[in-house]
Structure 1
Amino acid sequence: MPDADATVPAARAVERLRLAEARLARRRQTECGPSETARAAMRYILERSDAGRDATPTEIAEHLGLSTASVTGILQRLRGGGLITFARNPDDGRSKRVVPVDRSTDLDDVDPLTAKIRGFAEALTAREAEHVARFLEAVTEAVDRECT
């Protein structure tokens, strides 16, 4: 069992990360383009496109853990920004597919912060990455369980 005093820096680092993410979310709402949720939706749309499959609004909502009504608003803003368009779903006339307008868009351009984080992760050894991943998964589960 690790020494409790030795684990304090990790707990403090997570708290600083949570505060930084909250500040970033507020800035993104007012100052710098799409929200984090809209960026996550766009990443998913581009990943699906790269895999040769279009996404549906329902799939995007499920992926993000949001209601379809919330996702509809996000998709309308992405369409208004010229990032996506809608196409009729040939398999189901009642639904539509979400298609990126410019597939030459690089995921790193949509979310440069994620690209930076991947770069930081590449500097870790496999063992370090495994430890960090386990720790962050536990933190994520605790955050997800909060206020539910």
Structure 2
Amino acid sequence: MATTTTQGARTPEIDVPGEDAVTQLTWAVEELRLAESRLSRRRQASCGPGHSEREAMRFIAERADAGKPPTPTELATHLGLTTPSVSAIVRRLQDGGLISTRQHEEDKRSKLLEPASRNSPDTADGLAPSIRSAAADMDPGEARRLAAFLAHVRDLVDADCRD
């Protein structure tokens, strides 16, 4: 979505079809979903963390924040991937300095995965700081309403085509 500057304030310029706000918002979400899909394909081909790495980082950070760092096996179950696939993801995240591992206290054959930094969800994706900056420009009430709307859209997307 393009923006213009008017007396120092950023005013969104509507560049999606539709005469009413609901249609415009629906189109904007669809365009966002398509842009995310294009980005995912580009990243798979050449640069940046892919979808699985980003989802792994989110899971590892959430579990660490809850005081229950996951094992690679738990990560594989969460991602719905094989153990060898997850081993490759863990290796890439470690090589990138995004996670660290430590020996499991109770099961010495296993290891626990932890974020290398408390900011690791942001560092796992170079686009996140730009998104955070754009969000910081919003009115806090507006940002909360938009976050609730996007969470609802996420739930709809997650529920689609589930068995």
Partner of 2:15: none
- Which residue identity does 2:86 align to in structure 1? V
Q: Using the TM superposition, give the Cα deviation of residue 8 of structure 1 relative to its aligned residue in structure 2, in angstroms.
A: 1.1
**What 5-or-longer segments of structure 1 have no aligned partner?**
none
Is the Cα contact below 8 Å between 1:57 and 1:72 reproduced in 2?
Answer: yes
Secondary structure of the corresponding residue to residue 33 of structure 1: coil
Question: How far apart, in 1, do the equivalents of 2:92 and 2:30 lie?
Answer: 32
Cα distance in 2 between the residues matched to 1:14 and 1:47: 26
**When the two structures are aligned, how many residues end up with a matched partner?**
140
Distance 1:134 1:47, change over 3 A: closer
Identity of aligned residues (%): 45
Q: Secondary structure at the match of 2:20?
A: helix
Q: Which runs of 5+ in 2 are unaligned?
A: 1-18
Please tell me whether residue 25 in structure 1 is matched to residue 15 in structure 2. no
Q: TM-score w.r.t. structure 2 length?
A: 0.67
SS at match of 1:16: helix
**1:144 maps to which residue?**
158
Ranked by relative contact order (alpha carbons within 8 Å, sequence separation 6 or more), the top structure is 1
Aligned residue in 2 for 1:93: 108
Q: Per-residue deviation at 1:25?
A: 0.3
* One of 103, 127, 138 as aligned partner of 1:124: 138
Kept in 2: contact 1:56–1:98 (CA 8 A): yes
Secondary structure (helix, strand or coil) at the match of 2:79 reads coil
Distance in 1 of aligned mates of 2:130 and 2:76: 26
1:78–1:134 CA distance, 2 compared to 1 (3 A):
closer
Which residue identity does 2:38 align to in structure 1?
Answer: R
Contact 2:53 2:93 in 1 (8 A): yes
Mapped pair 1:111 → 2:125:
yes
More strand by share: 2
Q: Deviations over 1:96-144 (max 9, x none)?
A: 11256xx469534331211211221122222201220121122111111
Distance 1:144 1:109, change over 3 A: closer
Moved more, 108-117 or 41-50: 41-50
Q: Is the 8 A contact 2:55 2:79 kept in 1?
A: no
| TM-score normalised according to structure 1 size | 0.72
